[in-house]
Every structure is written in C-alpha cells, then in structure tokens.
Amino acid sequence: VVDQVKPWVASITVESLIRGFLYDFTDESSGSGFVVSPDGYVVTNFHVVEGARDIMVHLPEGKSYKASVAGGDRVTDIAVLKIDAQNLPNATFGDSDRLNVGDWVITVGNALALRGGPTVALGIVSGLGRTINTERGQFYGLIQTDAAINSGNSGGPLINLAGQVVGINQAMQREATGIGFAISSSTAAPIIDSLIEHGRVVRPLIGLIGQDVTPAISNELRLTVTDGVVVSAMSRDGPAYQAGIRIGDVITKIDDIATPDTAEFLTRLWAYEIGDLIQVEYYHNNKPMVASVELIERP
C-alpha cells in the first residue's frame, strides 16, 4: 500500500513574512499534501499555506515546483495548490462514510520535516463524527485515529488498506497520546472540486453558532431534549435571529430531518442553495417551535 501511494504524496515547504514590532523577518515551515489530478492540483490544509508568500511542492521523484494557491477554505481547513506539471500520478478517494471504528488506516506525510522520504504510521479509526475546538476555530465530522499525526504531516492523506484517501490529516491533541484527527473524504471531496473549479466554496449562511447537546449542557440548561444543537452565539442581523431563534434554543430538525449534532446540522445546512427557505424545528424554553429561515450567502 505504501509503495502504491508514495508517488502522489508531496512534502510542502512554506516561507512567510512575519511583521515584527521593530523589524520584519522570514519564517519557514513545512507540511504535507497529495496530488489529486494529473495536471498538477495538490491538496493540503489551509493552515499550512495561509499567509505564505512562497510555497514549494516537492514530489517523490525528486522534482520541486513553485506552487500557487488555487483556492482555500478556512471553514474546513482545506486548500488546493496548483503546480506547473502534467501526467502526475494522483490519489483516488475512498468512501469515508463506509469506515467503521476499528478499521485500519495509514498516515503518510512529511512529519517533522525529516530527511529521507515520507513518514508512514499505521493505526485504527478510533472514532467518527468528532468535533474539536482549536485556535483556528471549531471543526466538525472528523475522523479520530491513533495513527501518528505530527507537526509537518498536516495536509497529508489518511488512507485505507486499498490505498484510497479516506481523510486529510489535520490536527493532533498535544495534551493526549494517540489522538489525531482527519477531515473525512466525504466532507473534503466536494470542497476540493469547488476550489478547483471556482477558487472558493459558496455556502449558505443561517447566522448562528451551535454546539452539541451533551449531558453536562442538558443538565446546566435543564433541557428536556438529549440530542440537538444548542445555539451558543448568533448575529442579530442574520436569518436565524430574524426568524425568531435565540441563544439557548436547541435545534433538532431541518425540514423534518433530525440534526442530532453539529456535524449533521452543518451537513444538512450546506446541502442547500442560497435563497432556499428551510423549516427549522427547535425548542425554546423546552417548548417545541418551528421557524421558516431564508438562507443567505456566507461571506
């Protein structure tokens, strides 16, 4: 499997200009990526290339290419780079929705920027549909794995034993051992397609931030529901507020389809088009309510 995937796994080096109080200086960092098309499109994490002024993509056959950012999406932490190359070996995507906890997976990437080729680690799927909070924001629907994800192999592929990409390595938990996270291929694939075609991702906006109902939150707010999304913040000029939804309300369904957690809520929400009118079922002070919300474009 490693021999099969090595030809399309890339290491990425980035040079950024850091503006200091007294003088500016150059910072160098590294990450990983993988080729997704023969004509030179390479996927990595958005945080790997954010703010970079010089990006180089290094492929296993020994060639290095200057890269430009074709598009980036901060919400999912995905970026697509473009290099001037043709006839490249490229990755194929597997169906992450078919993963089960306990399945074997492999991470491949430029861990710690070590010389001598990519670092390979074997592990299992430890959890699915995870939500984590980071300094870059909140991320949903992630694959949790105990296969090593270290500094430098962010943006590299998480692959199954058929050599297919089922995730994009994204984050590790520094305070824990054997806990890393990857963006699922089912989430990433349409984002990548949109970034290649349009250079950006067009999403509908409902105008709220939510978090999963947990036993602790349910007890604190004295909720009568055990599943759903608690509204934790919202914009007063957003569609949800205008429709009557408020902070502390618990959203349980969109168009009669259950939204038991934030990942499912966002998956449902982002399947709609700008201007669609959706029916949101929610609880306000433990009373069931329904609101009609017209979605607008996310900035």
Active site residues: 47, 77, 154
Tokens 């914009």 sit at which residue? Answer: 235
CA dist 146 and 144 (Å) reads: 7
296, 204 Cβ separation under 8 angstroms: yes
